[in-house]
Amino acid sequence: MKQSEMLLPTLRENPADADIKSHQLLVRAGFIRQVASGIYSYLPVGQRVLRKVEQIVREEMEKAGSMEMIMPALQPSELWKETGRWNNFGPELMRIHDRHGREFAMGATHEEVVTGLIRDTVNTYKRLPLNVYQIQTKFRDEKRPRFGLLRGREFLMKDAYTFHDSYESLDVAYDRMFTAYQNIFSRLGLNFRAVIADSGAMGGKDTHEFMVLSEVGEDTIAYSDESSYAANIEMAPVVATYEKQNEEPKEKQKVETKDMKTMEQVADYLGHTVEEGIKSLMFKVDEKLVLVLTRGDHEVNDVKLKNLYDASYIDLATEEETRAAMNAGFGSLGPIDVPENVEIVADNAVQALVNASCGANEDGYHYINVTPHVDFEVSQFADLRFIEEGDPSPDGKGTIVFAKGIEVGHVFKLGEFYADKMGAKFLDENGKAKTMVMGCYGIGISRTLASIVEQYHDESGITWPKQIAPYQVHLLSLNVKKEEQKELADSIYHTLVAAGVEVLYDDRKERAGVKFTDSDLVGIPLRITVGKRASEGVVEFKERLTGEQDEIHQEELLNRIN
């Protein structure tokens, strides 16, 4: 491609609103341009990189047995009403209506559409399992669109969905998708961790996020420096400190919580102060009931933390508060390791409290009017604290390190939630109708692109890894007015193109300085500069990432490139 014919508008200055490198560089190097807050155009080089990321994703999806399809961005409200998410998704779901007044959602995600499709097309175990994916534009009216492509309101996502006749079958698909994700992010050259994540309000069980390590990440993760253990800090276990090991265990307290109004009061009652940084206090029912502290930024819809605690506990919460609490992840923890000396025994009333705290009842996320009456026993709560840097890893291997992460992917065992709400059933071997079991798996394609730039740049611009670079070679003709330079550059261009090399050819009538600056900014991995020694057939060959450069004869070029 000749740069003189290309739409590649580079800028010398950072856009005023761009605080982070990927945003600054993608705009300055001519990959993207903002159209409105959180909404971008991808210019030709941007589109080429997107396509390359997509291609890697496609290859790994196919390997994992997923089939590509495409579903509509416009989704009738009726589907979302079936699952209750028309109300519960909140203001992030963009809504429009057609000329007849029918309401539609702009697809923020596709569980409803895909479950509706499979419900209508598959009704026997013989057709299961199924694994489908799409790469498509998603719409979310983010409260704070920012950081360029990292948090957009319109963005590109790969979303996959699996359907199963059993949880065992789901486990198999989940593992395959997990491996596919590891392959994808490795192939993209990213430094990432797969972390144990919070299963949110969807009531699912296993879920992992794929986090690119980066200072600009909005999540904090805790990982082992020696093993693959890694967790979103929201999910990092509470650990018991054994400093007081020699003391006699405290006498078990009997706690009556029915008169308490807030979670803080519960905590106080237990002799445990809600420390700064601790954002929520939750109950989880598994086989045991556990009192859990988590942390994370839980400011949602302007509802302050204290209100969240209130909303989660007392029965005076408004539907809005409850939804906010739910969005913040209340009552929704995955498995954690409970230290042996910590145990809370509770009766069934606690289940009601748990339901109330996440605003759930049997048919969804509606707040129920339950006044919890809880009796439970606690021992040694004062010894509980969050995991910290330097602690031994919960898997016994290595030491915990904290890092900031960008969530680029998310895999999730949904279980029967959507299939149940939407009546997606199949007949098993005995002709008995059963509810399908589902999984869902997302990758933010455009966010991943920006994450790559966060990890691959220097002070002069982007340093694309070659597997996703928009072009492999940037060919610079320093002075197009000099006939011998132009001739040599033209001839190299044609040779490389004929050999199947992706070349961007800077044939513009610009000064050498401009060409070098632009070239560093755009970040194509290899640069060939045709300049003073053109008459000898000698050019400069430079690697963008390492800065290594030497002069070589044009005849050696193809060997050096391959």
H or E segment at 458? strand 457-458
CB of 211 to ligand ATP, least distance (A): 9
* Interacting residue with Mg ion among 193, 410, 527, 542 (CB under 5 A): 410
> Helix crossing, 44-63 with 445-455: angle to 10°?
110
Length of the chain: 562
Nearer to Mg ion, 408 or 478 (CB): 408
Residue 444 binding: pick among ligand ATP, Mg ion, none (C-beta 5-8 Å cut-off by kind): ligand ATP
Nearer to Mg ion, 407 or 416 (CB): 407
CB of 202 to ligand ATP, least distance (A): 10
The residue count for binding Mg ion (CB under 5 A) is 2
CB of 79 to Mg ion, least distance (A): 20
What are the tokens at 522? Answer: 């755009």
Provide the sign of the torsion angle of the four alpha carbons 524, 525, 531, 535, taken in this order. Answer: negative
Segment near Mg ion (CB under 5 A); pick from 274-282, 283-291, 350-358, 400-408: 400-408
Give me the residue whose beta carbon is nearest to ligand ATP.
Answer: 444
C-alpha span between 508 and 51 (Å, rounded)? 26
What are the tokens at 22? Answer: 């990927």
Nearest residue to 424 via CA among 107, 164, 69? 164
Q: CB neighbours (10 Å) of residue 83?
A: 21
Residue 447 binding: pick among ligand ATP, Mg ion, none (C-beta 5-8 Å cut-off by kind): ligand ATP
Nearer to ligand ATP, 103 or 142 (CB): 142
- The alpha carbon of residue 245 and the mean position of all alpha carbons in its chain are separated, in whole angstroms, by 41
CB of 197 to ligand ATP, least distance (A): 8
Cα angle, residue 292 at apex, residues 286 and 298 outer, rounded to 5°:
115
CB of 146 to Mg ion, least distance (A): 13
Q: Does 48 sit near Mg ion (CB under 5 A)?
A: no
Nearer to Mg ion, 297 or 320 (CB): 297
CB contact at 8 A, 47 and 32: no
Nearer to ligand ATP, 239 or 449 (CB): 449
Nearest residue to 452 via CA among 33, 10, 56? 56
Nearer to ligand ATP, 140 or 421 (CB): 140
Type of residue at 554: Q
Nearer to Mg ion, 159 or 407 (CB): 407
Nearest residue to 402 via CA among 224, 283, 255? 224
C-alpha span between 42 and 335 (Å, rounded)? 41
CB of 418 to ligand ATP, least distance (A): 14
* Helix residue spans in 122-262 (DSSP H): 167-187
Q: In what order do the strands lie in the sheet with 538-543?
A: 503-506, 473-477, 526-530, 538-543, 549-553
CB of 153 to ligand ATP, least distance (A): 7
Residue 152 binding: pick among Mg ion, ligand ATP, none (C-beta 5-8 Å cut-off by kind): ligand ATP
CB contact at 8 A, 105 and 81: no
Residue 409 binding: pick among ligand ATP, Mg ion, none (C-beta 5-8 Å cut-off by kind): ligand ATP
Residue 113 binding: pick among Mg ion, ligand ATP, none (C-beta 5-8 Å cut-off by kind): none
CB of 395 to ligand ATP, least distance (A): 24
CB of 72 to Mg ion, least distance (A): 21
Nearer to ligand ATP, 439 or 525 (CB): 439
Residue 80 binding: pick among Mg ion, ligand ATP, none (C-beta 5-8 Å cut-off by kind): none
Nearer to Mg ion, 93 or 419 (CB): 93
H or E segment at 505? strand 503-506
What are the tokens at 542? Answer: 């430079």
CB of 151 to ligand ATP, least distance (A): 4
Nearest residue to 445 via CA among 50, 14, 48? 50
Nearer to Mg ion, 28 or 410 (CB): 410
Q: Which residues bind ligand ATP (CB under 6 A)?
A: 109, 140, 142, 151-152, 155, 157, 407-410, 442, 444, 446-447
Residue 342 to residues 111, 290, 428, Cα–Cα distance (Å): 38, 8, 42
Cis preceding-peptide flag for 15 (omega within 30 of 0): no
Q: Which residues bind Mg ion (CB under 5 A)?
A: 407, 410
